[in-house]
Amino acid sequence: MGIADSGTGGNGQPRADLLVVGAGVAGLWLSLKAARAGLSVALIERDRIGAGASGGFLGALMPHSPERWNEKKDFQFRALVDLEAEIAALESETGLPCGYRRVGRILPLHSQRARETALANIPQARTNWSDRFRFEVSNTPDRHDWPSILWAPRGIVHETLSARLSPPALLSALAARLGQMSNVMIREGVALTGISHRERRARLSDGSAIAFGHIVLANGVDAFSMIAQAQETPDLELGGPVKGQAALLDAGAPPDLPVVYHDGVYVLVHENGLVAVGSTSEREFDDPTGTDGRLDDILKRARKLCPLIREAPVVGRWAGVRPRAVGRDPMLGPVPGTPHVLAMTGGFKISFGIAHRMADCLIAHVSGSEGPACPESFSVETHTAKAEPSGKTR
């Protein structure tokens, strides 16, 4: 069913069952899942696909630690397991590779305490991650340069659940698949400027309007203020931006090397041998997309951590702002008081691993069908209870 045929927008206005705002990894997966479920979808993007946080090049898919298991960790674990098949299906539909590989991860152990914690996590991983994935502690890495033994005086953890993908390749594949579907309309260069709740109509920056059954605010950091406005608590700061900087190096590295993660620095190899290094976490910044000396510091640490990239030239520098909700959990589900307005944001540092499953939750909600359990801590209500008036976010 085409957008214009899917109902009465009135005045010849277009109408979509689902209006998705923002074409980052969240909005793209959501649009695809909705279209597959037979809904008519309009996806509007202020700038261009991948213009926000999703436009970088890291794509690490790393689990939370296996101890103190909870609903959020379970949600992310299931998402990381499912993503492999989701990507395979998308690749076969489009013929476009997404640069996905389950390469695992190495965590160097720098103290006896860290080693003891890691050893205690072995049975936790067996219980919570299932037998399919290993979580092992060993005394030395397989290679002397990935990571350096100097950074792993107490050995390493090697787990086999982590993976990586190429963010630009995934976004291209998602966009290509959406382009093949007759029930999807994508408009780039058009922003949502307002919502008329009673009429279920969205106002757009080009002066046009679009009617909807449901609207999903998947517009990254900009979603927080719109969600607060929709639930008539405009002063509440439901989340905000955390800037991150990353670099890409021409290292010709083997693409099956595990991700290396240590103390906020992570290093991963893409299918083409380029190595991505990230990332800073900045709450205060002036320029959201500029890179500076903070990235050079991360690079210096990464080169020491993984001598394989010691001399590798930098071929890309990038910065973006991640959407971080109060309390750090993703924000997903209906906005209180306006059940046709839904939130899908706040994926912070893990969106690429969970966006497809977040989308499944919302589509189940919209279509009244069975879907994955969505942790209570993701709900807009929970975030609202934690939020403070602007300028005082915890």
Ligand X SMILES: Cc1cc2nc3c(=O)[nH]c(=O)nc-3n(C[C@H](O)[C@H](O)[C@H](O)COP(=O)(O)OP(=O)(O)OC[C@H]3O[C@@H](n4cnc5c(N)ncnc54)[C@H](O)[C@@H]3O)c2cc1C
Instruction: Enumerate binding residues for ligand X (CB under 6 A).
Output: 21-27, 44-47, 51-54, 56, 58-60, 191-192, 218-220, 222, 244-246, 278-279, 320, 322-323, 345, 347-353
Q: How near is the Cβ of 52 to ligand X at its closest, in Å?
A: 2
Q: Which residues pair with 163 in a beta bridge?
A: 61
HSE-CB at 127 with a 13 A cutoff on CA atoms is 12
Distance CA 179, CA 63 (A): 32
Place of tokens 């189940």: 364
Beta carbon nearer to ligand X, 108 or 347: 347
Q: How near is the Cβ of 241 to ligand X at its closest, in Å?
A: 9
Beta carbon nearer to ligand X, 174 or 312: 174
Distance CA 278, CA 267 (A): 7
Measured in whole angstroms, how far is the alpha carbon of residue 302 from the centre of its chain? 23
DSSP state letters, 201-239:
EEEETTS-EEEEEEEEE--GGGHHHHHHHHTT-TTEE-E
Distance CA 266, CA 260 (A): 6
Q: How near is the Cβ of 342 to ligand X at its closest, in Å?
A: 13
Q: How near is the Cβ of 136 to ligand X at its closest, in Å?
A: 23
Beta carbon nearer to ligand X, 44 or 362: 44
Q: How far apart are the first and last CA of the chain?
A: 45
Q: How near is the Cβ of 346 to ligand X at its closest, in Å?
A: 8
Q: How near is the Cβ of 14 to ligand X at its closest, in Å?
A: 16
Residue 114, amino acid: A
Beta carbon nearer to ligand X, 137 or 227: 227
For residue 321, is it left (φ>0), alpha (ψ between -120 and 50) or beta? beta
Beta carbon nearer to ligand X, 104 or 244: 244
Measured in whole angstroms, how far is the alpha carbon of residue 335 from the centre of its chain? 21
Distance CA 277, CA 304 (A): 12
Beta carbon nearer to ligand X, 121 or 219: 219
